[in-house]
Amino acid sequence: MTADVPSFPPLKPRDPADIGGYRTVGRLGAGGMGAVYAARSPAGELVAVKLVHGDLAADPDFRARFRREADLVGRVVGPCVPRFLAQDTDADQPWLVTEYVSGPTLRQHVREHGPLSGAPLHAFATGIAEALRAIHAAGIVHRDLKPGNVILAPDGPKVLDFGIARAIDETAITSTGGLFGTPGWVAPELLRGSPPSVAADVFAWGGLVAYAATGRSPFGTGSAETMAVRVLDGEPDLAGVPEALMPLVRAATGQDPNRRPTVEQALAELLCADQATVVGPGPEATELVTRVLREGWEAPPPPTVFTGDPAPRRRPRRRRPWLPAGAAVSALVLVAAGVWVAGDRFAEEPVETGETGEVADAGAVEQGVGEQVAVEIASNGLFMVHADPNGTLDITPGFDGAGSALPEGVDRAESVVASVNVGTVFADVQEQSGVQVFGELEYLAEEGEFTLRAGDLGLLEVGDDWDPLPDDPTADGRPAHTADPDDVLVTVSPDSPDAEFAVDFADAPQSGLLTYLPAANALGGEAEVAGVYTCYMNWHPYPPVDMTDEEYVPCPAERPE
């Protein structure tokens, strides 16, 4: 850690002041399982504390999952993983504590300062391989190695987030059998149904080194299905990877897991050492890695904090997505998971307008004539926002069933603007009342910005008096719980594409319909918008529940016995 005292996003009014003797000083993030806080230990050390949401702590499956995560984190020891410090998985709200790691994520650093090169790149590849060696030596597969889960700390890269890691010899704790991971970083054999293995982590390591060297994801960007097709059928884009690293990276990102190098083989080559030196958790390999980091690593600058007046609003430009030939995308629908998001759109092209088919320039389209914005449900709790300046999305403004469907022929990778990943918990954990809708917003266009307001989200009650699957849930007189429509939760743009949000509905019941209808000016102009609704249940392990026609689950007014 540096001598400077970092600043953190402030605590919210209902955030705890103390967790197990650790004094909270800021909020680092939140997700479906809980929140992560910056805190001070009794000795004054800065630490990271992960706290399970209060309502989920009562769920035996969630408690078992968290207990398992704490056990996994406690097994791993190495210079490139945060130190495990403490845990209490039997507390009313279970928690665990690790070393606080300062620095930007790899993704932040590449976005703001470009790729790594030379000795720092070699040190990065070595450090991540060392982290995987320590993880695998503890009998664990990470399963979600990606740029957002690597911190570039002053003393070297650190691999974070064991939330979906699993013991190599263990049966996963899941009731759905879904595929965990992030598109473009999930190995092809996992997409085909094989169980997680150390070879899958090696695949992600190769992609991570390529990303660090080039600033590009080796399988590009796009929707979950498109990314999966590229991994299965396409060759990774490795142009720009240095010659010294190319053989290792190419082999690591190969299709056949049996032909990929092991972590020990990769580390031995990077260290110019005999493979026997790096097998197991012995001190010799750790000392060699520490020397490489000490001699080659350069502490990165801290991530930029965007302040001041926002840039002038510009309409997004169209870009043709890279679409591979080969495997059918429809066969891959089942791989979608809550953490999977769709990719880029928008590059500037002339567009046809009017009955004559005349070509209009971008400036004419930017007047907002006919602009439409539509929301789709991509998977549990994952909304995809699409936009078209010519009004070709064929939407019905407002609500039109459980989920808006884009017309045939619309390229989703071409029209997508943003993803909104949501969940629900108690608004007041102590009183176990109200509902908080929280989540993450990611901007996926190259220009412009997108704003999420509190009033875009709403909670509607359910019961025998109302249609369980209405065309327009706001039109049948059921009680509605709303927030201030002028309260801006977050605004995202290419310069700052990721943001977390939360909005409280103090009087809402613990089950109902969650609606999302973007404001007409969410993209800066005026547009016709179509919204969606889904079921939320605060006792469900992965709220809200998917409400597509094929997987519709009636939303109960009370928790089933």
Q: Which residues pair with 49 in a beta bridge?
A: 37, 97
Among 144, 161, 201, 388, the active-site one is 144
- Quick check: 371 and 388 in contact, CB under 8 A? yes
Whether a cis peptide bond, with omega within 30° of 0, leads into 544 is: yes
Residues for the chain: how many in total? 561
Coil, strand or helix: which one is 66? helix
Residue ranges with strand state E in 275-406? 351-353, 358-360, 372-379, 382-388, 398-399
Cα–Cα distance measured from residue 279 to residue 271, given in angstroms and rounded to the nearest whole number: 13
Cα–Cα distance measured from residue 404 to residue 374, given in angstroms and rounded to the nearest whole number: 7
Write down the H helix ranges in 139-262. 188-191, 198-214, 224-233, 246-252
Please give the C-alpha separations between residue 95 and each of 5, 84, 144, 253, 422, in angstroms, as whole numbers: 24, 12, 21, 36, 22
- Quick check: 500 and 439 in contact, CB under 8 A? yes
Crossing angle of helices 198-214 and 263-271, rounded to 10°: 40
| HSE value, Cβ hemisphere, 13 Å, CA-based, for 213 | 24
Cα–Cα distance measured from residue 374 to residue 387, given in angstroms and rounded to the nearest whole number: 6
144 has catalytic annotation: yes
The closest alpha carbon to 434, from 24, 12, 9, 14, belongs to 14
Q: Indicate the DSSP class of residue 465.
A: T
Residue 9 has a CB neighbour count (10 Å cut-off) of 11
Quote helix, strand, coil % in the chain, to nearest 5.
25, 25, 50
H/E segment holding residue 50:
strand 46-52
In angstroms and rounded to an integer, the radius of gyration of the C-alpha atoms of the chain is: 24
Q: Which residues are catalytic?
A: 144
